[in-house]
Amino acid sequence: MNLTPDLRDIETPALLIDLDIFEANLERMAQFFRVRPAKLRPHIKTHKTPLIAHKQLAAGAIGITCAKLGEAEVMAHAGLHGILLANQVVGESKIRRLAQLARQTDLIVAADDPGNIREIGRAMTAAGAQLGMILEIDVGMKRCGVTPDTRCVELARLVTRTPGLTFRGIMGYEGHIVSKLPHEFRIEECRKANARLVRARRLIEKAGIPVEIVSAGGTGTYDVTGDNPGITEVQAGSYVFMDHVYHRVRPEFGIALSVLSTIISRPTRRRGVIDGGLKTFSRGFDLPRAKDCPGLNLWYISEEHGKIRLSGKACDLSVGDKVEFYAGHCCEAVNLHDRLYALRGGRLEAVWTIAARGKLA
């Protein structure tokens, strides 16, 4: 492998970002939304890095989407605004934290349960806070969310009548289809999921309640969802980094994230071991895949080791050589690391702290 001196100096395993690819991804998605009524509120669960969230805002995003309260706290602390917490916040102490955060920043949270809505409302009133709320609609994923029928109208009414809460709209993530192939099937299923969300919007509006936000979409569906006139914003996240699995679905976004690993053992001519495993890459949707290294096949990972099979020129690799791998799921891999090494043309330009990694609560 012909590694630049900068790459040779980085201790492994380490997360690398190819800045040229990353910036192209950022710009491609931003450009799509610049010329459309729907806007981008990117999901930061992919990078968990305030600096990258700031870059997304600078490129035109209207705010950020978070999965966890802890992520939202980190992002707010780093000066990010327009935070949509696209998940349920349940439990007394977390709701207290939510109220504290709502006092500090313009926050919107998702909900789908009347008891939870009332409890959050009481906590906001007690804290003297006002919190934006959107209802989560199940658009076919069968995860969280209420059905787009009278139930969503009743919940919308409840939110409008609950002191401390401001009803802002609805969300419905079509996660069951974002990575489906072929493209025609994904497009068709996405339209069906979007239609369920827009039906919920119409029902709520018919009841006299204005719906300002209709949020949906991921990297696999940003174009179909972002073109739907009933949807106001998209929550795509993976597009900034990508991985070799998602890249098959959305080849227009390059794979900017890789994991640099070192060969630590060469037991036989055709076998080797790298210093990365489950705690480096995560289980992912598939095994990591070597970048620019024909003949190297990573076929098994345990906690801290990866077993590789070698053929052809790859048999010349020795202990101490470094190899880059594409992750099998970028979002999971990022959550396992403290920092990102940002490189351009193999030269190290910056080291970014993944400040919200591990913020699971």
Binding-site member from 41, 43, 47, 186 for ligand PLP (CB under 6 A) = 43
In the numeric block, which tokens belong to residue 87? 């998940």
Binding-site member from 49, 235, 258, 262 for ligand PLP (CB under 6 A) = 235
d(CA 166, CA 161): 9
**238 touching ligand PLP, by CB under 6 A:** yes
Shortest Å, Cβ 306 to ligand PLP: 24
**237 touching ligand PLP, by CB under 6 A:** yes
d(CA 208, CA 197): 17
**236 touching ligand PLP, by CB under 6 A:** yes
Task: Determine how β-strand 339-344 pairs with β-strand 165-171.
Answer: unpaired
Size of site (CB under 6 A) for ligand PLP = 13
**Alpha-helix residue ranges (DSSP H) falling in 231-289:** 246-249, 278-281
d(CA 289, CA 206): 51
Which residues make Cβ contacts (< 8 Å) with residue 196, sequence separation at least 6? 137, 138, 139, 140, 148, 172
Residue 300 exposure: Cα atoms within 13 Å on the Cβ side: 6
**Near ligand PLP in 170-209, by CB under 6 A:** 173, 175, 178
Give the CA dihedral 34, 40, 43, 48, nearest 10 degrees. 40
In the numeric block, which tokens belong to residue 59? 């490129």
Residue number with the shortest CB distance to ligand PLP?
218
**25 touching ligand PLP, by CB under 6 A:** no
Comparison of 162 and 221: residue with beta carbon closer to ligand PLP: 221
Shortest Å, Cβ 243 to ligand PLP: 10
In the numeric block, which tokens belong to residue 284? 């992912």
**Near ligand PLP in 335-354, by CB under 6 A:** none
Comparison of 164 and 175: residue with beta carbon closer to ligand PLP: 175
Shortest Å, Cβ 227 to ligand PLP: 16
Are 282 and 274 contacting, i.e. CB atoms less than 8 angstroms apart?
Answer: no
Stretch that binds ligand PLP, among 89-97, 200-208, 236-244, 305-313 (CB under 6 A): 236-244
Comparison of 136 and 321: residue with beta carbon closer to ligand PLP: 136
Binding-site member from 29, 84, 86, 203 for ligand PLP (CB under 6 A) = 86
Nearest CA among 228, 238, 156 for reference residue 191 = 228
Residue 173 exposure: Cα atoms within 13 Å on the Cβ side: 22
Stretch that binds ligand PLP, among 76-84, 199-207, 229-237, 319-327 (CB under 6 A): 229-237
Q: Which residues bind ligand PLP (CB under 6 A)?
A: 43, 46, 86, 173, 175, 178, 218-220, 235-238
